[in-house]
Amino acid sequence: MVRAPDLLAALLGLGLGVVLTLSGAGAAGCRALGPAERLAFAPAARARWQAPRARAPGPLDSLYGTVRSFLSVVQLNPFPAELIKTLLNEPASVKVDEVLRYQAGYVVCAVIAGLYLLAMPTAGLCFCCLRCRRRCGGRVKMEHKTMACERGVLMTFLLLTTLVLLIGVVTAFVTNQHMHEQMGPSAAAVPEALLSLRGLVSEVPQELQAVAEQFSLPQEQVLEELNGVGSSIGKAMHSQLKSTVYEALASVLSLGQALQVSVDHLRGLNATSVELQEGQDALAPALHGHRLRLLALLQGPHCQGCAGALNKSHTLELGADFNQVPSVGHVLHRLKDVPEANFYSMVWEENITFNALPILAALQTADMVRELKKVVAEQPRGLNTMGEAFPVWEAASRWSQALEEVEESSRPFLEEVQRYERYRWIAGCVLCSVILLVVVCNLLGLNLGIWGLSAREDPSHSEAKGEAAARFLMVGVGFSFLLAVPLILLVFSTFLVGGNVQTLVCQSWESGELYEFVDTPGNLPPSMNLSQLLGLKRNLSILLAYEQCKQGATLWTVLQLNDSYDLEKHLDISQYTIKLQHELQKLKVDVQNLDLLSPAARRDLEALQSSGLENIHYPGFLVEIQKPVVNSDVEKLAQELEGLSQTQGNATLGQKLQEEARGLQHLHQEKVLPQQKLVAKLNLSVQALASSAPHLQSEILGVLDRVTYLKGELPTRATHILRNESECFLMREMSYFSQYTAWVREEVTQRIATCQPLSGALDNGRVILCDMVADPWNAFWFCLGWCTFFLIPSIVFAVKTSKYFRPIRKRLSSTSSEETQLFHIPRVTSLKL
């Protein structure tokens, strides 16, 4: 492989070499690249959630239930589907008698209201005439025994009636104020709901465009990974080839070390042999001289106890003859320049080169990566037209404009509604205040009347209180007659509107009859057919759509767009992936020149192989090595002679023995010991060569064969890995586009354009109209009507009771009682002193 000196110099400059720590990845599968990352797509569907409205539970709920029960009694007829159908399709053909038949309950109530409207003014006029003649509401002419009982009964009924009026007017005040407070938020909620619906329609094209734009996310991910595809492929090659290459390099390095050791031992063996021969040549004369002198001394008659030393002196001669060892000169000649190569540096360099394979692969694939990026940067045609071909794309602008017009036109109308509501609220407050005034007059009359009755002992005060009580009751009666006409008109008008809203709209809306009516074919005119307005191939069920929208379904599900829109056609990116695959197949990484063994190293191994190192006769060396340098132990002999010199009687003999002992010790230190060390050194070299030489030839042959085989095999395996990794890379990158298409499929069919705002607007509309407006409205007229009709017993009981509060002017028929004689003067009788 080309060394790329600049790159390798930079890598070596790091001080670490280049040793890439790669995770073990098998040759099969795509584990080297790892699993594809999970792309995080930004939600294209905008959060549109119509907050549900609900009336908080309160003390008026039982009143609302009572009013609804009353209205259900008034309107016993079912939902008039045929009548409304005729009204919507042919308004001119609607018959009045059919309308009156459906509104029979309201007609009866209208008759009752009409009778009340005629009776009360007439009764009031007659009452005024009678009062002018003092014929009605006068005083009791005569006191009788049952008068107290009658007065108590009338006062009790008047008090009960007044309390009923008080409860009614207080409830009317509360419901009037409650409805007035609810009208403002309810009116403001209408444009809000319309705005939400307009957002639902108008934002669908924008959301689809946002979905198409997020194709850039997998594009950017693929482009980012393309920057490292060459390095990734190089890492895969490194990971899958490293065991083979590292094993081969380890074998080469081990063999190189063995070669170096063998050559060093061989050279050491030769040098040691020469030294031993030279030392042997110098040691032999010295030993011979000492032997002759010792024999002469020890064999003398004057030597005492010298027999043992004499025997040892006979063997004082060379043991091993190193001139007899085999010659290794011819082998050394063949290994003269070995090793020529530095195996450690060579293996280190090859290791760095192999570890730099990811970087070298990235450099070699740079041009192809640029071409791949051009392919990836293209936009599939189907995604560009996805939004424009969506079925509601054209209808979205029309519906958005229509809802905007409705919203703008609703604001002035709602302002007018709020203005008239204020007028109604003021009228209600005034009428309730007048009814409250009647209640106050009745209560004051009762209180003053009872006070007057309890103070009959004082006639002057009793008459004044009773007269005031009667007048308060008469004032209440007058207000009742004056209030009757506006009260009944307000009650009936609000009853007619609120009752029909509750029975005709709210009940059918809540029960679902209204949705069933809309879903029935032919009930609505063609201009109101929602399926035709949306351009759908199937008729749309409003009830089913409402239920689906309430569960959070999207327009895709509700409008059944899978019949009119082929989403898969727009998500087909097969042509896009084919181009990418075609370009990936052009990737190439050149590993033809990967060198595991340099030419110099090969020559070294071949020289060692043909050197004949294994043919050296190593047993010849061992035979001489096993022999002692000197047959006799020189050191012990010197010690024995030293001892003999001390025991001799002849001083001259002792001195000579002592001199010989010192000479032998010097010889042992200077000649024998160095020879012994050289023999030990020779033994190490011989043992090492004898044990390694037989196996070294087979190792050299195996390494050379392995390197030669890998020279042709590595490029083939590298090409296979390149193809496999390219396919894995393509599968990985395609998984990003698959994630995108799956996300688009889910986003379009399950999230974009959720129609919950539609069901929320319908539910909120029902709550606003029925719970927040109609219920307080109906409760108001119900309480006001309650007070209106209870004015009649209030008038009757007030007129009757007032008679018993006025003072009685006529004397009673019996004059015998002193208590009834107003002008009785008691007779004066004489006093006894």
In a domain, 118, yes or no: no
How open is the CA angle 131-135-139, to the nearest 5 degrees? 95
Residue 652 pLDDT exceeds 60: yes
Is 58 domain-assigned? no
Evaluated on CA atoms 642, 644, 647, 648, the torsion sign reads negative
pLDDT at 115: 92
Say yes or no to pLDDT of 543 above 90: no
Please check whether residue 312 lies inside any domain of the structure. Answer: yes
811: pLDDT strictly greater than 60: no
Q: Is the confidence at residue 388, as pLDDT, over 70?
A: no
Q: Which pLDDT does position 55 carry in this prediction? A: 77
* Cα–Cα distance for residue pair 323/307, rounded to 1 Å: 33
Per-residue pLDDT, 1: 37
pLDDT class for 818, splitting at 50, 70, 90? Answer: very low
Whether omega before 301 lies within 30 degrees of 0, making that bond cis, reads: no
Q: Which residues contact 433 (CB under 8 A, 6 or more apart)?
A: none
Instruction: Quick: pLDDT tens for 198-252.
Output: 666 666 777 777 887 888 888 888 888 888 888 888 888 888 888 888 888 888 8
Q: How many domains are contained in the chain?
A: 1
In a domain, 595, yes or no: yes
Q: How far apart are CA 288 and CA 630, in angstroms?
A: 11
CA-closest candidate to residue 519, choices 483, 553, 555, 545: 545
* Extended beta strands in 401-507, E state: none
pLDDT computed for residue 444 by the predictor: 86
Half-sphere exposure of 818 (CA within 13 A, CB side): 4
Q: Please, what's the b/e burial string for 408-419 (b: 16 or more CB within 10 A of its CB; e: otherwise)? A: eebeeebeebee
| Residue 327: Cβ within 10 Å count | 12
SS3 category, 554: strand
Which residue segment(s) compose the domain that 652 sits in? Answer: 241-359+589-711
Distances (CA, A) of 248 to 171, 202, 592, 696, 828: 102, 70, 17, 16, 163
Which segment of 15-19, 178-182, 554-558 scores lowest on mean pLDDT? 15-19
| Bridge partner list, 818 | none
Task: Give 3-state DSSP helix, strand, coil % of the chain, rounded to 5.
Answer: 75, 0, 25
Q: 403 lies in a domain?
A: no
Picking from 583, 613, 797, 596, the residue whose alpha carbon sits closest to that of residue 711 is 596
Q: 703 with 255: CB under 8 angstroms?
A: yes
Asked if the structure places residue 783 within a domain, the reply is no
Cβ 445 vs Cβ 473: under 8 Å: yes
pLDDT tens per residue, range 717-765:
888 888 888 888 888 888 888 888 888 888 877 777 777 777 787 888 8
The owner of tokens 């924008």 is: 206
What's the predicted TM-score (pTM) here?
0.59
Q: How far apart are CA 358 and CA 20, in angstroms?
A: 9
| Side-chain half-sphere CA neighbours of 348 within 13 A | 10
pLDDT, greater one: 68 or 592: 68
For the beta carbon of residue 496, count every other beta carbon within 10 angstroms: 16
Residues with Cβ within 8 Å of 577's Cβ and at least 6 positions away in sequence, in order, are 730, 734, 737
pLDDT higher than 60, residue 604: yes
Per DSSP, the three-state class of 48 is: coil
For 632-672, where are the alpha helices, taking DSSP H only?
634-647, 651-667
User: Does 327 fall in a domain?
Assistant: yes
Q: Give per-residue pLDDT as tens, 498-534.
A: 899 988 888 888 888 888 888 787 777 776 666 666 6
Q: How many CB atoms within 10 Å of residue 636? A: 13
In whole angstroms, what is the distance from residue 323 CA to residue 280 CA? 9
| In-domain check, residue 833 | no
Top-confidence residue, 70 or 179 = 70
**CB neighbour list of residue 157: distance below 8 Å, 6 or more residues apart:** 793, 797
How many angstroms separate the CA atoms of 253 and 343, rounded? 6
Are the beta carbons of 297 and 656 closer than 8 angstroms? Answer: yes
